[in-house]
Amino acid sequence: MGPTRVSAPAGCLARNYRVRVCTSELKEHSITDMNPENRRKNKRVRAPKGTLAGWKSPGQSSVSRVYNIGLGGAYLTSPNPPATGSSIELVLSLPIGEVRARAVVRRSTPGRGMGLQFIQMRPEDRAKLNQFLSQATENTSDVCPVVAPQQQVEQLNQPASPIDQSFQQELTKLTDLARKGNYYQLLGVGHDSPSGEIKRKYYTLAKKYHPDLHMDKRQAAGSLKEFMEKITEAYQILRDEQKRNAYDLKLATTGAFNLGRSKTESQETVEECVSRAQEYLRARNVVGSITWLRKCVDLMPDSGKHHAMLARSLGTVLAYKDEAIFHFEKAIELDPLNTEAYFYFGELYEALKLPWRAQPLYATILEINPEHAKAREKFPLASSKEKRGTSSR
């Protein structure tokens, strides 16, 4: 093969600049440059098994397995990824905690997944991601090889392994529950569970039963997909307050508040009382809820949460204001970090035209959580102090 011309460096005359390049060297050079991994500014590492990311794009939302990740982006497996160029928001569930980011889809391959480029990330999230990557790269076996996508395809083409009998039985039980049970049963949460607990339960199930984590169990693919779709639907309903209220009303109408979990007799009775109280509250019957919430307090007198719930209902009835104050004080005594108890106690004092008693409660909330938005609105001194501090700098 004759000599090959390449571009001359700056300062050289192109017509006098000729270099002979070995054919094998040129081939090796071109292959290396064409590889996406070598064009990246930041190397990626293979994510630990079970690492998932919840993502949302216009008209689409799902949970996918994270195959590899770096400071610049990640690769997510997905049977139906958004189109190239789509913007998505995602929450990466890493071993050191959640990392939130905005990204754009740079490569989309139906049936396989999508390559993402991060375009926005808060400093604290980037610091957390950097910490994870630093820990991961200490083990050189975790560094993602250049041919990762091809290896992934080879893994998908491997013969299916037999399904473990206990896994199959558990999956059958869960899919049956998905068809017959309600959303609370499905996620294993109570009717009064906060959104944080619902989220944790959902991600725990997703990490264990997501189809992307069981690609070798092809016989179970249909059941896994069905179960994942159902728990995702349950999570999306229960995480949204308006949708959850409508769903609870539907359950109350049909009398389907059976949570189906093993509990002590006392716990079961308390949860039933809370459920009945919330049914009355959704029907705007506050007085009816007070009866059931008093039963909760009688059954669990050391629960600050139930004292606070009772106090809040009592506070809406003028005749019960003294009893409401007593239960708010008891709730704070039992759980001094419960910001909701302080906040609703402050609102009660404001309703009673006693704002000077409410202000210290809002101030305490801001000591516990300086970012509590509602308390900051109620306690203007916090904003004025910040302004004075900023101007002094």
pLDDT tens-digit series, residues 66-107: 989 988 899 999 888 999 989 898 888 888 888 899 899 999
**What confidence score (pLDDT) does residue 150 get?**
44
DSSP helix/strand/coil, 298: helix
Angle (CA) 278-281-286 rounded to 5° is 125
| Per-range mean pLDDT, top range of 47-56, 210-219, 252-261 | 47-56
Fold of the CATH domain 45-136: Thrombin, subunit H (2.40.10)
What superfamily in CATH does domain 257-388 come from? Answer: Tetratricopeptide repeat domain (1.25.40.10)
Q: With 50 as the cut, is the pLDDT of residue 6 above it?
A: no
CB 217 within 8 A of CB 163: yes
DSSP-assigned beta bridge partners for residue 105: 116
At 272, is the secondary structure helix, strand, or coil? helix
Q: Could you give the CA distance from residue 385 to residue 364 in angstroms, rounded to a whole number?
A: 15
Give the SS3 label for residue 98.
strand
Fold matches, 176-253 and 257-388: no
**Distance between CA atoms of residues 313 and 315, nearest Å:** 5
Report the mean per-residue pLDDT for the chain.
Answer: 75
Model confidence at 338, pLDDT cuts 50, 70, 90, reads confident
Are the C-beta atoms of residues 89 and 102 closer than 8 Å to each other?
yes
Closest CA to 53 of 240, 213, 184: 213
- CA distances to 179, 239, 272 from 242, rounded to whole Å, are 23, 9, 22
Tell me how far the alpha carbon of residue 391 is from its chain's centroid: 38
Give the chain's count of helices (H) and strands (E). Answer: 17, 7
Using pLDDT thresholds of 50, 70 and 90, give the confidence band for residue 178: confident
Domain boundaries, the chain: 1-34, 45-136, 176-253, 257-388
Determine the residue type at 199. Answer: K
Query: Which residue's entry shows tokens 């040129």?
Result: 26
User: Which range has the worst mean pLDDT, 45-49, 101-105, 216-220, 356-360?
Assistant: 216-220
Each residue's pLDDT tens digit, 296-328: 888 888 888 899 999 999 998 888 899 999 999
Is the domain defined by 176-253 classed in CATH 3.40.630.10? no
